[in-house]
């Protein structure tokens, strides 16, 4: 029988659910640092079944700050800095616009749209605008993340268009996502979400994620660039198919 301190358990969360989420945070970070993308979506999918809907997107965002920041720190010297200023400005614009929306975007159409775009970007040449306009990528992805939560796939498409080596891809993507989730967290705080009720749980998830990052970096060091890009494309397509399937299913079933 587990003996987890009560301070780590938000109201209504069982020890078993806590253990599952901690393990998922570890595995998600390991997947992302080893293959460049995917862990945030995995974590969101699991949290969506175990965390109250009102807390899902805000808490996932804070956890992802810790996960991505840890990844950025351990790969710091590989960060592609030119993409950062304009992406940050775009993220602020997108989060502000998303936070001001009175009516939420239908999540099923967001899933289908993001998934379709990413699959197209894997098999086609990324549009020049995507490569050269990080402000646009920051704005669109940050707008969507206010409603959808995990837009790492979209940002990964932009990072992939830079044709970076594997360490630089992981480092740059982690830095961009740290910025985006940071802006989103501030926006939800201004909208009134009570982060204080979840701080201990979030801290534990971040620690578990950082441990996954350390293990995942060992795998990253053993993969060559050609195999890394192939694995990244496979992960992008699989996650995108899952997004499209979930969106179509919601449209057909009405929920």
Q: Is residue 99 within 8 Å of 145, Cβ to Cβ?
A: no
In tens digits, the chain (255 residues) has pLDDT values of 467 878 888 888 889 999 999 999 998 888 877 776 677 777 877 887 788 877 888 888 899 898 889 889 988 999 999 989 999 999 999 988 887 774 466 777 777 877 787 787 677 665 666 667 888 889 988 888 787 666 777 788 888 888 888 889 889 998 999 999 999 889 888 888 888 889 999 999 999 988 988 888 887 777 777 777 777 778 778 878 887 888 898 888 875
* Packing angle of the helix pair 152-161, 39-50 (nearest 10 deg): 180
Q: Is residue 67 within 8 Å of 39, Cβ to Cβ?
A: yes
Q: Which of 59, 41, 51 is nearest to 20 (CA)?
A: 51
Report pLDDT for 119. 80
7, burial (CB in 10 Å: exposed 0-12, middle 13-18, buried 19+): exposed
């Amino acid at each position: 029988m587990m003996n987890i301190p009560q301070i780590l358990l938000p109201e209504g969360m069982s020890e078993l659910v806590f253990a599952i989420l901690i393990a998922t945070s570890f595995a998600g970070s390991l997947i992302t640092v080893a293959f460049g993308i995917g862990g945030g979506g995995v974590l969101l999918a699991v949290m969506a079944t175990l965390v109250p809907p009102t807390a899902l997107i805000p808490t996932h965002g804070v956890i992802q700050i810790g996960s991505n920041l840890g990844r950025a720190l351990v790969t710091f010297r590989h960060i592609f800095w030119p993409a950062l200023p304009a992406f940050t400005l775009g993220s602020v614009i997108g989060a502000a616009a998303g936070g001001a929306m009175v009516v939420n975007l239908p999540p099923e159409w967001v899933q289908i749209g993001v998934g379709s775009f990413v699959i197209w970007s894997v098999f086609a040449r990324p549009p020049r605008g995507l490569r050269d306009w990080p402000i646009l990528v920051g704005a669109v992805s940050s707008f969507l993340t206010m409603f959808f939560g995990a837009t790492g796939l979209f940002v990964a498409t932009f990072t992939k268009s830079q044709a970076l080596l594997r360490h630089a891809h992981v480092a740059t993507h982690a830095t961009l996502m740290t910025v985006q989730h940071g802006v989103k967290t501030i926006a939800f705080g201004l909208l009134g979400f009570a982060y204080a009720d979840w701080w201990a749980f979030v801290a534990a998830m971040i620690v578990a994620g950082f441990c996954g990052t350390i293990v995942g970096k060992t795998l990253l060091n053993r993969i060559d660039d050609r195999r890394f890009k192939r694995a990244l494309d496979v992960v992008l397509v699989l996650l995108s198919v899952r997004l499209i399937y979930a969106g179509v299913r919601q449209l057909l079933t009405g929920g």
